[in-house]
Structure 1
Amino acid sequence: METQLLFYKRAVPVSSEAHKDVSLRVAGKYSFAKEVNSVPLVAAEFRAAAPDSTIVFAGEGDEVMPVVILGLRDKENLYVDPDGSWNGRYIPAFMRRYPFVFASSEDGKNFTLFIDDEYDGVNKDGEGEKLFDSRGERTSYLGQVLDFMREYQSQFARTKAFCKRLHELGLLEPMHAQYTLPDGSPGRLAGFSAVNREKLKELSGETLEQMLKTDELELLFVHLQSLNNLQPLMEKVAATAPKAADKGKGANGAAKGKSARSETV
């Protein structure tokens, strides 16, 4: 994850002048993210995302942020089907806000709403939801978008504070996951961090009590539990490589290769 924009191609400020006749066709498709293997997650999403997703931390120092792993290889999103449908239980808010995004001023106090003009749902044919009415006023739809974006930005700021606390407590450590595909070829996922269980146990009772009261301790346990979802993700990788697996078949058609397996270090 190199930038907060990721799949945005040409984000421009939303205005009544430039977008008076613009409508947005929302089709519930996520093809725009098919080559993104992780996206940021805010702390408020941990419980919803954890049942079938792996939550880790990316970045260093004050730039650490939770992310959800969507694929194990570069330009791979295992949660997006060929038709653009999302096959997971939970869709991260980072994805649901697209094609909109907030840009902050240099002092971080003011925000401007942007839209990706190259999103294929943006049109002037009246298809979908209009952004402005005939008088140039915001439609109720655009108002809902702004409410969602403000809430997301608020949660994003709280999550940054949460991550800063984890960094100050020294709880995060680099990790990597190794896996083997059915044809025997190895794979490795790196560049992320997870909470060190032993360091968590070494925290003082006072610190643990504070984290319990602020729900931070629960978030850490949810994160640690979600690491178990790496194995199903490995199995998804194996399912997308049938041709490689077929290379190990004998005369009776049975696969000689091993099933996808993983080891998190």
Structure 2
Amino acid sequence: MASAPQLPLFYNGLEPLSSETHADWKVRPAETAPFLAGQHAIPVTIDEFPLVQRHMPIVFSVGEDAIPLALMGLNEGVNVFVDEAGKLTETNFYVPAYIRRYPYMLARLRPDSQDLSLCFDPTSETIGAFEDGEPLFTDGQPSQLTKDILAFNEQFEQAGQRTQMFMKELKDLGLLMDGEVTIQMDGGEQPFIYRGFQMIDEKKLADLRGDQLRKISQSGMLPLLYAHLFSLSLMRDIFARQAQAGKVAAPQMQPSF
């Protein structure tokens, strides 16, 4: 996260999209995402759990305002799914919506207003006054591309609100615990221990009262919890990828997500 002003992951700045200022601006497709190459933990929404859990471990960040994270690597600065240029090395891989949203996002332009405006990161190389590309505005009105971008960001914002409610419920039920994964390499003397994240406490989940269990089952929350728990087995796959690439930290180091 950036500071002064505080900006979300990936973003170097935010500028509201304007039909006047950006009347002739266009969008060019990008084959790579350089901003992704050194990122190992990506925020995800609960709407994405069923797809994410097939490809990446889902954990929860530490602290009071915990959020779900998809792990693209187990160590800071390591992403095993993209090359050094930020090009995806996988086929049939689910790319989290947080990544696909960039360089756009909905943001409040004034602290005293609840209205959200479509903004973008002006340092992105995919948007600008290019000769080629798809226009953002046509005859002073948002193009279909801009309408689609806005719709996607609105859906992402709604999914984010559902995720906040989900996290509040987890906290109220006391289901989060400090996570730890131990991985022993063949022939290695010391195991690799990964901490600095949260996970669901399976014992507390099993010990929930009947009314509590019924509530989270009826709300659709229970399958999401198991999607998270099942996904944790993928940590060993991520570790194997890192080991093959020679990007595994020393066993005594305990990375934080």
Where in structure 2 are there 5+ consecutive unaligned residues? 249-257
Structure 1 counterpart of 2:151 = 147
Across the aligned residues of Structure 1 and Structure 2, the Cα RMSD in angstroms comes to 2.3
Is 1:68 matched up with 2:55?
no
**TM-score of the superposed pair, with normalisation by structure 2:** 0.86
Are the equivalent residues in 2 in contact too, given 1:64–1:160 (CA < 8 A)?
no
Aligned to 1:56: 59
CA gap 1:7/1:180 in 2 versus in 1, 3 angstroms = farther
| CA–CA distance in structure 1, aligned partners of residues 168 and 144 of structure 2 | 36
**Distance (Å, rounded) in 2 between the aligned partners of 1:153 and 1:91:** 17
> 1:111 deviation in Å?
0.8
Cα distance in 2 between the residues matched to 1:155 and 1:175: 25
| Aligned match for 2:107, one of 103, 110, 115 | 103
CA–CA separation in structure 2 for the residues paired with 1:72 and 1:183: 20
Q: CA deviation at 1:8?
A: 1.2
* Paired residue type of 2:145: Y
Q: 2:214 aligns with which of 209, 215, 228?
A: 209
1:136 & 1:183 partners in 2: Cα distance? 66
Matched residue SS, 1:10? coil
Higher mean C-alpha displacement, 117-126 vs 41-50:
117-126
Q: Is the 8 A contact 1:42 1:156 kept in 2?
A: yes
2:44/2:96 contact within 8 Å kept: yes
Residue 186 of structure 1 deviates from its aligned partner by 6.6
- Hey, what does 1:29 align to over in structure 2? 32
* Mapping 1:44-193, distance limit 5 Å: 44-61=47-64, 63-88=65-90, 89-104=93-108, 105-106=110-111, 109-133=114-138, 135-179=139-183, 187-193=192-198
The alpha-carbon distance between structure 1 residues 181 and 85, as it changes in their structure 2 partners (threshold 3 A), is: farther
Amino acid at match of 2:55: D
Contact 2:74 2:235 in 1 (8 A): no
Match of residue 218, structure 1, among 223, 245, 256: 223
Contact 1:174 1:191 in 2 (8 A): yes
**Cα pair distance change 1:115/1:181, threshold 3 Å:** farther
1:182 Cα deviation after fit: 7.7
| Residues 103 and 121, structure 2, Cα contact 8 Å, conserved in 1 | yes
Unaligned runs of at least 5 residues, structure 1: 245-265
1:208 corresponds to which letter in structure 2? L
Instruction: After superposition, give the CA deviation of every residue in 1:143-192 in whole Å (9 maximum; x if it has no partner).
Output: 00000000110010011000000011100001133446689587543321
Query: Amino acid of the residue matched to residue 220 of structure 2?
Result: D
CA distance in 1, matches of 2:203, 2:180: 18
C-alpha separation between the residues in 2 aligned to 1:138 and 1:181?
Answer: 54
In proportion to residue count, which structure has more strand? 1
Q: Take 1:174 and 1:188, find their aligned partners in 2: how far apart are those partners? A: 13
Q: Distance in 1 between matches of 2:186 and 2:132?
A: 45
- Size of the aligned set, in residue pairs, is 241
Q: TM-score, normalised by structure 1?
A: 0.83
